[in-house]
Structure 1
Amino acid sequence: MNTSSRRSTLTIALCFIVALIEGFDLQSAGTAAAGLRQSFALDPRMLGWVFSASIVGLLPGAFFGGWLADRIGRKKVLVAAVILFGLFSLWTAYVDTYPQLLLARLMTGLGLGAALPNLIALCAEAVTEQRRSTAISIMYAGVPLGGALAAVVAMFAHDHWQLTFIIGGLAPLLAVPLMLTLLPESMAFQRNASATGRASTASALFGERRAGSTLALWLSYFFTLTVMYMLLNWLPSLLIGQGFSKPDAGMVQMLFNIGGALGSLLGGVLLDRCNPLKVVLCIYAGLLAALAGLGLSVGLTAMAAAGFAAGLFVMAAQLVLYALAPPLYPAAVRATGVGAAVAIGRLGSVSGPLAAGQILAAGAGTAGVLLAASPGLVVAALAAMRVLKRPAGEDLALRPTPVQD
């Protein structure tokens, strides 16, 4: 194995580990929801705000994490982000009041948000264009696997919900020395660091005929993340509301995440090897069918199958979007472009848990929540197809010319 291959393999492996920890922390509040509800006497609306507090933090974290990474380096920002969400996840286990809980989740989300665009940029820049989607998919498979680990911890923790946040806080802090020692900085960033200072955010996102593709990408991110985070945070509670026991709900949540890991891997491989338009159509059609299955299934076996399918297709859809973003932007502003797309998507991910809480509080039930999510997925699919159908020459990310003010 030559030096370049070793560097690429090491980057993807370390980013996978960080994504695994990130996935654990992203779903920690959802898997610990029953304990949080009991300890803090939360109604559905209040619990929705707990879920959304971390997601609110993801939005500025993603944008400024990407923007800053194009200026000082992907590795530095990623390490700082991991320290941030590790410390505040740990604090979540020891808060005493509802406002403290919201603050802890907000700051955890800030760190989680800053980490993701840097994980995507590092993996995208570690390999050739032909392997970019696969590299991102391998890294991103860590997110649902981390969520599955969170579900397993919650199943064994029983009423000790604090254990989930203690593990979610210690794991990233233990990973920091490994990252500082072994994680290489992106070569693409090092080559383009001087060009970064001349690139404005507006020109990075909308210059060189990227405006239409950027807006379409944002639209697809928004609606896909609405559904994704609704399921990530509310699935256990929705299942318990349908009459399933807490262990059964935990098992379905675990299958949801295992399906997500498989969907992430398949999404990247299929994008690199098959017709991207057909891949997008199949993924979003499958996600709509899976949502119908979650709403209509009555037995545990059918619900488990629907949960697995929902995880597979929603994570595959998310992976498709993460793979579509990096090629749109030159290396000098790539993290800014990816971070902005992720940040816009977070607006949808804030809406998902809050809307689900409002719909449930109004008495519409699980079917009402899932029905309300379906039209947005159609819009997301059409927007992703618009990005894929951009005219030849609109994607100038591979051209070496730096973006000018």
Structure 2
Amino acid sequence: MSELDPRAIIAREPMHFRQIVAIAIATALNALDGFDVLSISFAAPGIAKDWGIDRAALGLVLSMELIGMGIGALILGAMADRIGRRPTILSCLVIMVSGMFLASTAQTVTILSAFRLFTGLGIGGMLAATNAIVAECSNARRRNLAVAIMAGGYPMGAIVGGSIASLLLGATGRWQSVFEFGAVLTACFIPIVLWLVPETIAFLLHKRPAGALAKINRTMVRQGRAPLDVLPPRDEAPQRFSFGQFFAPGIASVTLLLILAYFAHMMTFYFLVKWIPKIVVDMGFAAASAGGVLVWANVGGASGSIVLSLLTQKVGVRPLVIGAMICGAVVVAIFGQGFTTLASLSLIACIGGFFTNGATAGLYAVIAQSFPASLRAGGTGLVIGIGRAGAALGPIAAGLLFAGGASLSLVALLMGCGTLLGGIALSLVRYRENSIA
């Protein structure tokens, strides 16, 4: 890559305010994802009460948007590598607004599940596209930090949105109000993205659509940099997209191990965040109090993301993630061992969130650097898409175990093994940081 190539300039120079704004918006979008995904968790106790459904059925409802996220990450993540990061994000926002609003109108478990599946399509595609945007807007020095901060938006959304959801539940007594609030909040991001998030230079240089030079120069000038006279030579001829590209020699083992690591870790992570409210309610506490315990889990998650983000400036990201996964497995197993007060449940949930979400934040940084620009959103989507099957399997498996008479202590121990397996898989990845080309 030439030193005059805009990607090289972005990689080596300090970040401009507009790059920071784009990363901040991507972080806010991930926070929005965090609230949208966990909205069903806050609503779950009310749904179970109103409709009289058992734990096995509730586990399926809790997992539907996770299944949609997997499909959305695969399909819309690949679309972001074809049509661009920005239009993909806008499309995902429209899907999420529609899905959240429709969920508030559902009258049956089947209809609600369908609307949550639809919402998940947008959430999954959003995560793949925002991960690519942050990686491509950051300089080389701050890339790990920026991606980890972006991932930290997820628990922040759950904290702020969850606190509001708990207030709404307490004030209205209607679980539908959680989805209504989510639809309005999501719609507010559409004009923000249109105004402040341009297409990434890395994507424009790779795909070279009509007007690419003018679009690149507009972004360069806004960042206080000199415009280009001509586009730099292509690094490679664009190829027709194929999932087979991710399993080519030299990249196949990385792809497969990242999928396994993400799959196994998501099983544990989503068991924790999806089942906390219902577990706490079943102990005799009010739904609003149960939502408060989930908020504390996300306080820990946000803290874990921040701490890991800062540590990546001094320590390699992969060993940090492996360590967080091992600690997370231990804490999730401990979560089920006899805690009966709100204070103790909140504390252990907070510690569990610290390690499991810190590991998630670091995983996104590893994934973003494992694929070249031509495959970055698609590769992220592939790993997340297949990995989300683990996310969906976690709440379902826990629901079936509970319905079969398993104790919380046994379920927590078994579900904690997922992130332990993920750490082992990640330790086997022959990881080498790639330039954002």
More divergent stretch after superposition (129-138 vs 290-299) = 290-299
1:403 aligns with none
SS in 2 for 1:32: helix
1:227 aligns with 268
More divergent stretch after superposition (326-335 vs 371-380) = 371-380
More divergent stretch after superposition (282-291 vs 173-182) = 282-291
SS in 1 for 2:275: helix
Contact 1:54 1:108 (C-alpha < 8 Å) held by counterparts: yes
* Structure exhibiting the larger radius of gyration computed from Cα positions: 2
Alpha-carbon distance change, 233 to 399 in structure 1, aligned in 2, over 3 angstroms: closer
Aligned counterparts of 2:237 and 2:39: Cα–Cα separation in 1:
36
1:356 aligns with 398
Aligned counterparts of 1:133 and 1:187: Cα–Cα separation in 2:
19
More divergent stretch after superposition (34-43 vs 177-186) = 34-43
Higher helix share: 1
Task: Indicate which of 240, 245, 256 corresponds to 1:204.
Answer: 245
When normalised by structure 2's length, the TM-score is 0.86
Alpha-carbon distance change, 399 to 69 in structure 1, aligned in 2, over 3 angstroms: closer
Stretches of structure 1 that go unaligned for 5 or more consecutive residues are 401-405
Alpha-carbon distance change, 204 to 329 in structure 1, aligned in 2, over 3 angstroms: farther
1:328 aligns with 370
Question: 1:108-257 maps to which residues of 2 (within 5 A)?
Answer: 108-156=119-167, 157-158=169-170, 159-194=173-208, 197-257=238-298
- Alignment of 1:369 with 2:383, yes or no, is no
Stretches of structure 2 that go unaligned for 5 or more consecutive residues are 1-12, 209-235
Task: Indicate which of 49, 52, 72 corresponds to 1:61.
Answer: 72
More divergent stretch after superposition (320-329 vs 247-256) = 247-256
2:300 aligns with 259
Which letter maps to 1:386? L
The 4+ residue runs of structure 1 with deviation greater than 6 A are none
Aligned counterparts of 2:243 and 2:292: Cα–Cα separation in 1:
45
Identity of aligned residues (%): 29
Which letter maps to 1:180? L
Aligned counterparts of 1:277 and 1:182: Cα–Cα separation in 2:
32
- Alignment of 1:317 with 2:317, yes or no, is no
Aligned counterparts of 1:315 and 1:302: Cα–Cα separation in 2:
20
- Per the TM alignment, residue 45 of structure 1 is displaced from its structure 2 partner at its CA by 1.6
Aligned counterparts of 1:309 and 1:98: Cα–Cα separation in 2:
33
Question: 1:74-93 maps to which residues of 2 (within 5 A)?
Answer: 74-93=85-104
Q: How many residues align?
A: 394
CA displacement 1:366-392 (0-9 Å, x = unmatched)? 2122111132222100111222x44x6
Aligned counterparts of 1:103 and 1:280: Cα–Cα separation in 2:
34
CA displacement 1:14-70 (0-9 Å, x = unmatched)? 112211211111100001111111222221122111111111111110011111111
Alpha-carbon distance change, 176 to 36 in structure 1, aligned in 2, over 3 angstroms: same
Alpha-carbon distance change, 364 to 332 in structure 1, aligned in 2, over 3 angstroms: same
Contact 2:41 2:62 (C-alpha < 8 Å) held by counterparts: yes
Aligned counterparts of 1:310 and 1:220: Cα–Cα separation in 2:
18
Contact 2:135 2:436 (C-alpha < 8 Å) held by counterparts: no
Question: 1:390-401 maps to which residues of 2 (within 5 A)?
Answer: 390=431, 397-398=434-435
